[in-house]
Amino acid sequence: MAKLHAIEYLAHPDKYPPKAVCAAYGDDSFLRRQVLLAIRRAILKDDECEFSLTTFAGDNKEVQFRDVVEELTTVAMFGGQRLIAVEDADDFVSRYRPQLEEYVAHPGQSGVLVLDVKTMPATTRLYKAIDGGGLAIDCSAPATAKLTTWLKDWAKQTHKVQLAPGSADLLIEMIGPELGLLDQELAKLSLMAGADKMITPEMVQKMGGSWRAKTTWDMLDLALNGNVKEAMRQVDRLLSSGEVPISLLGQISATLRRFAAATRIIVQSEAAGKKIGIVPALEQAGMKPFVIRKSEPQLKRLGRQRGRQLYGWLLEADLDLKGDSAMPPRLILERLIIRIAAPA
């Protein structure tokens, strides 16, 4: 059975009614929260939540499996179903995997159990049991290629606004592939939308983005302009505020890939006996019109030698941040910034 992704589920939750056991699993906490809310809305009315909803902290070792089962088998005070959610349930699942497998095979008749976990490998018996007889929803971060479509749909569905052409791409570039932050920015921008309920790229550029997103944008500009000291100061500020290196890498990667693509276009054109200017190369690489003016001198300063190495540097940083290196994540990010900012 094909995996049901949270984006598909949240677009049409009525097509996937809750089963006796549901699992929201994956590395995106925003999607897991939205799935839990959607399941709650499907089962409980607003006036029932206080009496028919019980939440357990799965990372609390004092929470026992029998406590959860007791709640599941308790009849709802006003009829209907009860909803029992075990949040941050990875440790709970590890401790009680056999009991959970048995429960999924023979669930109770009263309550609905929802497991909120970061990981649930498809090869495990528990996943197969939930996927076969329950409702398993993949809450992993969506591929970058799908983010634009999701953002447009989410803006309409949740915030009742529309994103004009270019607005979704600009938001993703400014904020990065962080769905929770993107949702927050949409909420703020929706308050600015006029009677047409349209969010334009100009509105996004002027008002969109938290100070962290703007600081990330400034940090990249400083690096591309060769100001190593100030770029590093901004990196320190971002990390001290709670940002993580892999998130910052995601936010700056799209722009750097466009510089790499523009360099490749220039080199390939020259090899074919043709000459192309920097601005047309940046346009072909997908650089947005409103940043072309500042991007031209930045690519000149970067130079073709470093421009041709950008793809390799980005891949190396991504793999290192995901475990291929023993270096601290901060140093991995700082190494990339120095490579961009300082001439060889």
Tokens at residue 207, please?
Answer: 């008002």
Q: What is the per-residue pLDDT across 296-334, written as a single tens digit (0 to 9) for each?
A: 999 999 998 999 999 999 999 999 998 888 899 999 999
Q: What is the pLDDT of residue 211?
A: 57
Of the CATH numbers 3.90.1300.10, 1.20.272.10, 3.30.70.580, 3.10.100.10, which one belongs to the domain with range 212-341?
Answer: 1.20.272.10
Q: What is the pLDDT of residue 65?
A: 94
> Per the structure block, which two tokens stand in for 252?
């700056």
Q: What is the DSSP string of 197-251?
A: -EE-HHHHHHH-S-HHHHHHHHHHHHHHTT-HHHHHHHHHHHHHTT--HHHHHHH
Task: Quote the CA–CA distance of 125 and 112 in Å, as a whole number.
Answer: 20
Whether the CB-CB separation of 318 and 312 falls below 8 Å is answered with: no
Q: How far apart are CA 30 and CA 186, in angstroms?
A: 14
CATH 3.40.640.10 assigned to 4-138: no
Instruction: Fill in the DSSP letter of residue 75.
Output: P
Please tell me what DSSP assigns to residue 140.
S
Q: Which two tokens stand for residue 71?
A: 């709640």
As a whole number of angstroms, the distance between CA 274 and CA 265 comes to 11
**pLDDT tens-digit series, residues 234-264:** 898 888 877 788 888 888 888 899 999 999 9
Domain segments of the chain as ranges: 4-138, 144-209, 212-341
Query: Which has the closest alpha carbon to 220: 248, 181, 185?
Result: 248
Domain 144-209 fold is Helicase, Ruva Protein; domain 3 (1.10.8)
Give every residue of the chain whose pLDDT is below 50, as ranges.
Answer: none
Residue closest to 336 by CA, chosen among 240, 266, 251, 270: 251
So what's the pLDDT on residue 50? 57
